[in-house]
Amino acid sequence: MSAPLLQTTDLRLSFGAVVVADNINFSLHEGERLAVIGQNGAGKTTFINICTGLIRPNSGKVRFDGHDITAMAPRAIVRRGLARSFQLPQLFLEHTVRDCVRLAAAGRLGRLGLWSPLAKSVPESEIEHVLDIVGLRERGDELCESLPEGQRKLLDIAMALILNPKLLVLDEPTSGVSTEEKHGLMETIMAALDDRKVSAIFVEHDVDIVTRYATRVAAWISGQVAADGPPAQVLADPMIRKNVIGE
């Protein structure tokens, strides 16, 4: 098998007496669609925050695409190809949908300046393509604040995809979206990931969504990976059903 795209080794982090990452040894290969499940406070977001450079672990290593990224700044990690979206979309609400993607595209440049103006950071055709695959091209000239929650999530993902990631980490992509809309939203997200050939990790509480869209599931309990494998296997595990799914 090829080398992992993402790999953590002996990752540990405590907040005071609370251990939120307890010796996590984890790897993800290209093409995987991994769902991370776990009760509130299990350490899922902390794990993502460590991998994307927002929090430094107390010890252990994170490797991405062959490089040690443990001590790298978030922007440098993004430029290496690991992007993320947030549980609450981080948009420029007073700007148009299209300008949000343009602004996000600036993350591909080292820095902006007089000689690298924002408008030239990425070809317009690429911005239009990304808007198209998340179904927002028609709303490109509208202000972000006019978008409903599901479309805000899609715009947040478009803003990550314009960075040309190899891996996209999605923190609760369907939270705040009605049950009826969730599957449509996930279908659009998965088609966009396929189009850009992007691997994905998504934190998700909805078992139906996990069953349908994940190729693999990792279940977090108290800062540890308690189970990791094919969805049918992990979701049928009585210990996971009791302690993670809450049956």
Ligand X SMILES: Nc1ncnc2c1ncn2[C@@H]1O[C@H](COP(=O)(O)OP(=O)(O)OP(=O)(O)O)[C@@H](O)[C@H]1O
Nearer to ligand X by Cβ, of 96 and 222: the residue is 222
Q: What is the closest distance, in whole angstroms, from the C-beta atom of residue 17 to ligand X in the complex?
A: 10
Does residue 31 belong to the site contacting ligand X (CB under 6 A)? no
Nearer to ligand X by Cβ, of 105 and 226: the residue is 226
Q: What is the closest distance, in whole angstroms, from the C-beta atom of residue 204 to ligand X in the complex?
A: 10
Does residue 18 belong to the site contacting ligand X (CB under 6 A)? yes
- Stretch near ligand X under the rule CB under 6 A, chosen from 43-51, 95-103, 117-125, 126-134: 43-51
* Among 8, 24, 46, 51, interactor with ligand X by CB under 6 A: 46
Helix (H, G, I), strand (E, B) or coil at 25: strand
Cβ of 179: how many Cβ atoms within 10 Å? 9
Phi-psi region of 172 (alpha: psi -120 to 50; beta: other; left: phi over 0): left
Does residue 56 belong to the site contacting ligand X (CB under 6 A)? no
How many of the chain's residues bind ligand X (CB under 6 A)?
11
Q: Which residues pair with 143 in a beta bridge?
A: 96
Q: Distance between CA 158 and CA 140 in Å, rounded?
A: 12
φ, ψ dihedrals at 167, nearest 5°: -135, 130
Does residue 58 belong to the site contacting ligand X (CB under 6 A)? no
Does residue 151 belong to the site contacting ligand X (CB under 6 A)? no
Does residue 17 belong to the site contacting ligand X (CB under 6 A)? no
28: nearest Cα among 58, 2, 11, 7: 7
- Stretch near ligand X under the rule CB under 6 A, chosen from 22-30, 38-46, 131-139, 145-153: 38-46
* Among 5, 28, 43, 72, interactor with ligand X by CB under 6 A: 43
Q: What is the secondary structure of 102-142 as a DSSP string?
A: HHHHGGGSS--BTTB-GGGSS-HHHHHHHHHHTT-GGGTTS
φ, ψ dihedrals at 159, nearest 5°: -70, -25
Give the binding site for ligand X (CB under 6 A): 15, 18, 20, 38, 40-46
